[in-house]
């Protein structure tokens, strides 16, 4: 296989990188050391704030270091000092002496709170959410920042966001959320590890929630974006967590996460290894309505995997205005897929024609690595005046071989022994620049560009057993090459006052896509340029009610497996084939959102309309009792929906969350001679509760329901399932024991019916119940978090 991997040498010439200091002779420096009353030991990581005497608002703040010492400064003269830490009584200091611009408080003794070690004293503002045109901003107040919680627990306090005990993040009930740190990708934001556990609540300034992205972001987006904004005065020292996990079906792993902050560097590392399996029960029925022949198949598919993972990275703070980030990840996976499927072939009289068992032995190795270089510059005139440059590279390889053998149980042979060999290589490169300039208190301009290269090769060979041994089947063998380049540029302008604002933008993306099937020399090339306008506005009606409206145009580009015309021979009677002529689909998205508070409840509701053209649908055809599934562009889809989600804190020990989404859709389209015009509806809901029990035990119950819905050729059935999690904190939260049960009643299924004039098909899939048990320990300022071992692909 010949694969052209294009790598571009990127050289950024960084101009105007300089540091500056401003002499401020009127600053008063405040120092002291915090000591426990019972043990006389130092108290690290306690919160120390300076409050204005008149307004009681926070002027400045810091935290004590590992030795209990703290230092901060202020130019104010009318203030008092407040010190708080979980498990201790809050101490207020109003009397002190200033000598030569310094206040030395000496040793300060904090008294243990005998009433409740778990009580959190709120010393500042309460966390709240506000609208900012194209996003919502969750400002982290002292009620959370003083608790010592991790970033994941902070995210779990954000409206519309839910974090399971296993660390899976969802937005409005949908996974696939992109996590950013200070507006840029980061290894610390990798959801596949526990790196977010090394960021504590008091390091976070705010979290931005973006559900309908502006032109600044790629037109082919995700379920949403969460941007974690860190405070400039990040804690220094070691953070870390180590965890050991086991489960059934096999899910065993060990992970270590480290993070070290100094004055100029932030070093982070992630190490992990493990073994897991993912069995799936599958069943299929192919019914030929012309001759009434039927083929049944059922079996269990396995994907057993041993994996190793290492991540290294650093943030280098050149000075207060310039940060350079370099990170890399390497993973290696070893796969085994011992699967077995039973087939039964019946004639029109329901008499057995043939019965056989098909066994699969598959071995694969998957090396993959990624690297990222980011440079961020802040300008002196405004903290939001920034320039961000980034380079990202990813590589994934798969060397796979399979051996399929068939054993006849009854009747005639109906299948053949086969071997396959796959050599797959994928390389992705992203080059990006973003510039933001708040030219005044009310006007902000943004502009930037991005260039993405996706280069893929899939060399696939099929051999079949003959009298002379195994011979290559050229009809099934192919070498497919896929190369896509997307260049995008954008500009946005925003006008924002205290209660009202508007933001307009446009993004242009030029796509060049080439595919080649080398054994037949079939090629396909697509070149197209598209404009993606966006419009957002928000209005603050009152303190507890705000409105936001938005419009964006989005694109779905066909992926490799949508385009590759290969045959998957795991089941020769149910195969999937790609379509190299598949076109992208485009969606116009309109959304009106409100966020409001009613007592202890926070609710967010949306009305939306999405209109999609060239809708990509899976179309089923039937040839010689074989079901062939192929993606096709079929007409339009118009969807109108309502979505609401909320979070209710009934008490300190009970929190209830819920999501509900209902949409009505109208399909219009024709494929070949068949008309696909129909209407339907689909709805989903989720209800979760987090219950705090005595002895630092938390219980989480989450129920989900997905309704059935119509498809272009049949129906998909609905299902309900329940997840259970139990967590026990020990050693004052530094160690955590987790017990998780996914799909408690083994009721989550995938079931689809296809009904056409000449054939009917039925498919069923089920993963079953998963049980996991883990223990993790956090040290330094990190909190114990579960290591998941990474996402599969």
On whether both 66 and 99 belong to a single domain, the answer is yes
Residue for token pair 């493990």: 274
DSSP reduced 3-state for 231: coil
Residues 172 and 234 in one domain: yes
Same domain, 431 and 316: yes
Average of per-residue pLDDT across 131-142:
76
204 or 732, which is more confident?
Answer: 204
| CATH, residue 199 | 2.170.130.10
The DSSP 8-state label assigned to residue 264 in this structure reads: S
Q: pTM score, two decimals? A: 0.75
> Each residue of 117-135: pLDDT tens digit?
333 333 335 566 676 777 8
Number of domain units in the chain: 3
Q: Which residues of 362-377 are buried (b: 16+ CB within 10 A; e: fewer)?
A: bebebebebbbbbbbb
Same domain, 153 and 302: no
pLDDT tens per residue, range 5-28 = 344 333 332 222 223 333 345 788
The mean pLDDT value for 259-285 works out to: 85
Distance from CA of residue 132 to its chain's centroid?
A: 22
Q: Is 736 a domain residue?
A: yes
Same-domain status, 705 and 719? yes
List the CATH number of the domain containing 670: 2.40.170.20
**Of the given ranges (157-171, 341-355, 653-667, 730-744), which has the lowest mean pLDDT?**
157-171
Which pLDDT score, from 0 to 100, does residue 377 have?
Answer: 92
Report CA Rg, the chain.
Answer: 29
Final residue before a domain boundary, out of 173, 206, 240 = 240
Query: Are residue 192 and residue 306 in the same domain, yes or no?
Result: no
Helix (H) or strand (E) holding 144: helix 142-145
Note whether residue 11 is domain-resident. Answer: no
* 531 and 652 in a common domain: yes
Residues 462, 589 within the same domain: yes
CA distance 477 to 701: 48
Residue whose tokens read 């509806």: 681
Compute φ and ψ for 380, nearest 5 degrees. -65, -30
- The CATH number of residue 85's host domain is 2.60.40.10
- Rounded Cα distance, 682 and 663, in Å: 6
Residue 144 covered by a domain: yes
Q: What is the pLDDT of residue 787?
A: 43
Count the neighbouring beta carbons within 10 Å of the beta carbon of residue 100: 5
Residue 637 has pLDDT above 90, yes or no: yes
787 inside domain: no
- How far is Cα 313 from Cα 59, in angstroms, rounded to an integer? 34
On whether both 629 and 750 belong to a single domain, the answer is yes
Domain boundary among 240, 267, 292: 240
Q: Residue 568 in contact with residue 561, Cβ under 8 Å?
A: no
Report how far residue 433's alpha carbon sits from residue 628's, in angstroms, rounded to the nearest whole number: 44
Confidence band for 792, pLDDT divided at 50, 70 and 90? very low
Range of the structural domain that residue 229 is part of? 128-240
For Cα atoms 225, 203, 80, give the angle at the middle one, nearest 5 degrees: 135
Range of lowest pLDDT (169-173, 272-276, 522-526): 169-173
Residue 116 in domain:
no
Is the model's pLDDT at 390 over the cut of 50? yes
Residue 459 sits in the same domain as residue 401: yes
Judgement on whether residues 572 and 618 belong to the same structural domain of the protein = yes
Strand order in the sheet with 58-63: 58-63, 47-52, 79-84, 91-93
Assign residue 148 a region: left if phi > 0, alpha if psi is -120 to 50, beta otherwise? left
The gap from C-alpha 274 to its chain's centroid, in whole angstroms, comes to: 21
In a shared domain, residues 357 and 277: yes
Domain assignment present for residue 277? The answer is yes
Q: Which of 224, 240, 256 is the last residue of a domain?
A: 240
Q: How would residue 448 be classed by pLDDT, with cut points 50, 70 and 90?
A: very high
Q: Which residue has the higher pLDDT, 133 or 191?
A: 133
| Distance (Å, whole) CA 520 – CA 518 | 5
Whether 400 maps to a domain, the answer reads yes
**Distance between CA 462 and CA 669 in Å, rounded?**
36
pLDDT value of position 790 = 44
- Please give the structure tokens belonging to residue 501: 């604002």
Q: Is 680 exposed, middle or buried (0-12, 13-18, 19+ CB in 10 A)?
A: middle
Instruction: Give the residue carrying structure tokens 């390389």.
Output: 427
Domain membership of residue 460 (yes or no) is yes
């Amino acid at each position: 296989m010949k694969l052209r991997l294009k790598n571009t040498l990127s050289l950024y010439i960084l101009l105007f990188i300089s540091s500056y200091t401003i002499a401020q002779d009127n600053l008063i420096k405040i120092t002291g050391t915090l000591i426990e009353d019972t043990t006389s030991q130092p108290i690290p990581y306690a919160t120390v704030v300076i409050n204005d005497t008149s307004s009681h608002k926070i002027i400045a703040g810091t935290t004590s270091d590992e030795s209990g010492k703290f230092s901060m400064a202020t130019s104010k003269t009318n203030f008092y000092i407040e010190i708080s830490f979980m498990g201790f009584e809050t101490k207020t200091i109003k009397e002190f002496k200033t000598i030569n611009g310094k206040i030395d408080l000496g040793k300060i003794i904090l008294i243990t709170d005998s009433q409740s070690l778990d009580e959190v004293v709120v010393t500042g503002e309460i966390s709240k959410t506000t609208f900012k045109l194209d996003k919502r901003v969750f400002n982290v107040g002292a009620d959370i920042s003083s608790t010592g919680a991790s970033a994941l627990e902070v995210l779990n306090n954000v409206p519309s966001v839910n974090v399971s005990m296993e660390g899976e993040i969802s937005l409005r009930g949908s996974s696939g959320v992109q996590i950013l740190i200070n507006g840029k990708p980061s290894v610390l934001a990798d959801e596949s590890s526990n790196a977010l556990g090394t960021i504590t609540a008091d390091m976070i300034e705010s979290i931005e929630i973006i559900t309908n992205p502006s032109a600044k972001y790629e037109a082919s987006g995700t379920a949403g974006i969460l941007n974690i904004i860190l405070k400039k005065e990040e804690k220094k020292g070691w953070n870390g967590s180590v965890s050991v996990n086991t489960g059934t079906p096999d899910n065993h792993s060990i992970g270590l996460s480290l993070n070290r902050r100094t004055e100029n560097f932030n070093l982070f590392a992630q190490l992990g290894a493990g073994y897991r399996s993912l069995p799936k029960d599958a069943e299929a029925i192919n019914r030929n309505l012309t001759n009434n022949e039927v083929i049944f198949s059922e079996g269990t598919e396995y994907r057993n995997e041993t994996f190793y993972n290492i991540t290294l990275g650093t943030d280098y703070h050149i000075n207060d205005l310039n940060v350079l980030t370099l990170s890399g990840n390497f993973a290696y996976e070893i796969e085994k897929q011992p699967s077995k499927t039973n087939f039964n072939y019946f004639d029109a009289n329901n008499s057995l024609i043939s019965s056989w068992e098909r066994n699969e032995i598959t071995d694969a190795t998957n090396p993959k690595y990624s690297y990222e270089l980011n440079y961020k510059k802040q300008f002196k005139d405004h903290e939001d005046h920034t320039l961000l440059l980034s380079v990202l590279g990813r590589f994934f390889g798969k060397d796979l071989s399979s051996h399929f053998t068939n054993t006849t149980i009854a009747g005639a042979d109906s299948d053949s022994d086969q071997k396959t060999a796959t050599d797959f290589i994928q390389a992705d490169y992203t080059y990006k620049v973003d510039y933001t300039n708040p030219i005044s208190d009310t006007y902000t301009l943004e502009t930037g560009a991005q260039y993405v290269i996706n280069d893929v090769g899939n060399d696939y060979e099929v051999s079949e057993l003959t009298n002379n041994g195994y011979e290559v089947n050229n009809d099934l063998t192919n070498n497919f090459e896929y190369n896509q380049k997307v260049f995008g540029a954008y500009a946005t302008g925003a006008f924002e006052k205290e209660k009202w604002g508007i933001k307009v933008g446009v993004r242009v993306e030029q796509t060049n896509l080439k595919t080649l099937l080398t054994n037949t020399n079939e090629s396909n090339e697509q070149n197209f340029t598209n404009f993606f306008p966006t419009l957002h506005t928000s209005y603050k009606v009152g303190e507890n009610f705000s409105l936001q409206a938005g419009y964006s145009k989005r694109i779905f580009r066909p992926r490799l497996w949508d385009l590759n015309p290969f045959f998957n021979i795991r089941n020769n009677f149910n195969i999937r084939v790609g379509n190299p002529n598949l076109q992208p689909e485009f969606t116009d998205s309109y959304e009106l959102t409100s966020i409001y508070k009613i007592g202890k409840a926070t609710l967010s509701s949306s009305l939306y309309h999405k209109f999609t053209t060239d809708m990509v649908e899976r179309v089923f055809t039937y040839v010689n009792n074989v079901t062939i599934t192929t993606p096709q562009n079929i007409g339009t889809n118009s969807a109108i929906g309502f979505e609401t989600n909320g979070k209710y804190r009934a008490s300190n020990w009970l929190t209830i969350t819920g999501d509900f989404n209902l949409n009505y859709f109208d399909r219009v389209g024709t494929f070949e001679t068949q008309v696909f015009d129909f209407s339907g509806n689909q709805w989903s809901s989720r209800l979760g509760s987090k219950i705090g029990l005595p002895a630092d035990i938390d219980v989480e119950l989450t129920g989900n329901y997905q309704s059935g819905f119509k498809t272009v050729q049949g129906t998909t059935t609905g299902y309900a399932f329940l997840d259970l999690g139990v967590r026990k904190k020990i050693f004052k939260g530094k160690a955590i024991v987790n017990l998780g049960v996914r799909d408690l009643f083994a009721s989550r299924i995938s079931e689809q019916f296809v009904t056409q004039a000449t054939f009917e098909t039925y498919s069923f899939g089920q993963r079953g119940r998963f049980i996991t048990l883990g223990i993790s320990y956090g040290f330094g300022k990190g909190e114990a978090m579960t290591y998941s071992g990474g996402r599969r692909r």
